[in-house]
Copies of this chain bind each other. A is one copy, B any other.
Amino acid sequence: MNLLLFSDRDRGDSGLLRIAGPRLQHLLQVHGKAAGESLRVGEINGMTGSATIVSIDRQAAVLDPVLTTPPPDKLPLTLVVALPRPKMLRRILRTVAELGVAELHLVNTYRVEKSFWQTPVLAAATIRHYLLEGLEQSRDTVLPPVHCHRRFKPFVEDMLPGLAEGRKALLAHPGDHPPCPRGISGPALLAIGPEGGFIPYEVEKLQAAGCEPVSLGPRILRVETAVTALLGRLF
């Protein structure tokens, strides 16, 4: 934990923070923090800074925060990913928050197994949990919006053209396409398919919505690896 994130619920009338539960355990066990020491903190969707530990015991830590620094800028990226299996979804959520993706859309496609939509990972509180883990890693505070689209056609026909407008919209797809561009400066949208890829009908629809197919080379990467490698390349 490179940053302890807190919300309004942790703040008392005095302005001091009262931290209990897993975050307290982490402070005690991993960092071995004691009263008088300080640590980096951030208010969810707000500023970051440091906090002095006023008191700490097995019940709670009381912290006095001073928030001075805005969180790092987000990448100007809207990411569209075919819903992956739950284990991969957890990692994607962490990675998206860690890398500073501005907005995530999880989409159904032909090769997404129907059962993936039943996973408890998609509960709002669970999505938030994994996003917070990613934000803590990279000292960010701003939760990226995550949208779920259980029907491909309405998403790609009615919503995607608007999302892609004014952005460089790319579709990472195996095959004989131009290589993914490097070091772009403006806003972008990137669509990544499921294991096994988009089917030809889906590729057509994505292209009709303004996405340009690009290749990431001859290797077939896991979705999480492809997301991270493409973002490293794009920005």
Measuring CB to CB, which residues of chain A are less than 8 angstroms from any residue of chain B? 2, 72-73, 95, 98-100, 137-140, 182-183, 217-222, 225, 228-233
Contacts and interface: CB of A to CB of B under 8 A. Distances in A.
A219 B232 CA distance: 12
A229 B183 contact: no
Contacts of A95: 225
A41 to B, nearest CB: 15
Contacts of A232: 228-233
A194 to B, nearest CB: 14
A30 B137 CA distance: 34
Nearest to A218: B72
Contacts of A73: 218
A229 B183 CA distance: 12
A232 to B, nearest CB: 3
Contacts of A138: 219-221
A76 B95 CA distance: 26
Given A230-B232, A233-B233, A98 B219 contact: yes
